[in-house]
């Protein structure tokens, strides 16, 4: 995808409020449970990425049915068919500090969010411009980041679909500060190579990237 543009679809509530029809002819990355939106949009993402082990374990039966190229955490491989030609397994690097992987055979840094892993993939694939949407970078629920908890409420207000993490499922509150530091690394790496990342999220709280209006991209 040398020199092309792509869109990364985050999973924030703002995604459900957008008209995503213009993305039908664009290259897109869908994350985690993006398929819950498939009945409302006229396309399926070009690529799928998920590295959160709780997501990959609890929703394996749904994710296995996706036919676009999938990038999945190697640690969760036992839940997936090894002969699934659409599945590509990524190794995550355990580190006290995040870096930015630029080689397809290298280990990926999580940055505390699947969006950061996807930015590394987009860089490796050669995209010159990456547009973020649905990366709200704010959560209604409060608590300890990275701690696995069982959801007690019926509706998930942190994501674009009320059943994203349904009652009784396990989830982790993300570490937003860690993600901000990682996003800053991504911004530096892209700009160092004459490329860019822009943020077209509606009312998003992330301040690392240049803000643009979604409707002005065409």
Mention every residue, 6+ apart, whose C-beta is less than 8 A from residue 157. 13, 140, 141
**Parallel/antiparallel/unpaired status of strands 129-133 and 87-90:** unpaired
Predicted confidence (pLDDT) at residue 88 exceeds the cutoff of 80: yes
Per-residue pLDDT, 141 = 74
Per-residue pLDDT, 81 = 75
Model pLDDT for residues 91-101, shown as the tens digit of each residue: 999 887 999 99
Q: Helix 176-192 and helix 114-125: axis angle, to 10°?
A: 10
Predicted confidence (pLDDT) at residue 171 exceeds the cutoff of 90: no
Tokens for 13, please give them.
Answer: 């509530």
Q: Model pTM?
A: 0.95
The pLDDT > 90 percentage for the chain reads 80
Per-residue pLDDT, 59 = 96
Per-residue pLDDT, 133 = 97
Per-residue pLDDT, 186 = 98
Q: How far is CA 185 from CA 111, 120, 181, in A?
A: 10, 10, 7
Model pLDDT for residues 191-207, shown as the tens digit of each residue: 999 999 999 999 999 99
Predicted confidence (pLDDT) at residue 85 exceeds the cutoff of 90: no
Predicted confidence (pLDDT) at residue 145 exceeds the cutoff of 90: no
Per-residue pLDDT, 165 = 92
Predicted confidence (pLDDT) at residue 138 exceeds the cutoff of 90: no
CA distance 31 to 159: 12
On whether the CB atoms of residues 128 and 122 are closer than 8 A, the answer is no
Mention every residue, 6+ apart, whose C-beta is less than 8 A from residue 132. 7, 8, 10, 115, 197, 198, 199, 200, 201, 204, 206, 209
**pLDDT band of 147, cuts 50, 70, 90:** confident
Predicted confidence (pLDDT) at residue 212 exceeds the cutoff of 80: yes
């Amino acid at each position: 995808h040398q020199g092309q543009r792509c869109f990364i679809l985050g999973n924030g509530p703002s995604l459900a409020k957008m008209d995503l029809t213009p993305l039908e002819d664009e290259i897109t990355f869908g994350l985690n449970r993006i398929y819950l939106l498939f009945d409302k949009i006229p396309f399926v993402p070009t690529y799928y990425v998920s590295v959160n082990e709780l997501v990959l374990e609890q929703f394996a039966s749904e994710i296995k049915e996706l036919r676009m190229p999938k990038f999945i955490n190697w640690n969760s491989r036992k839940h997936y068919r090894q002969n699934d030609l659409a599945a590509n397994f990524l190794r995550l690097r355990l580190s006290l500090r995040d870096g930015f992987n630029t080689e397809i055979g290298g280990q990926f840094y999580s940055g505390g969010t699947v969006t950061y892993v996807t930015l590394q993939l987009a860089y490796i694939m050669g995209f010159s411009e990456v547009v973020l949407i649905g990366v709200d970078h704010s959560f209604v629920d409060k608590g300890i980041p990275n701690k696995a908890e069982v959801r007690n409420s019926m509706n998930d207000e942190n994501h674009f679909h009320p059943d994203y993490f349904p009652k009784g499922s396990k989830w982790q509150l993300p570490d937003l500060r860690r993600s901000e530091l990682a996003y800053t690394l991504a911004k530096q790496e892209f700009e160092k190579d004459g490329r860019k990342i822009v943020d077209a999220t509606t009312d998003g709280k992330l301040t690392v990237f240049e803000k643009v209006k979604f409707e002005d991209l065409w």
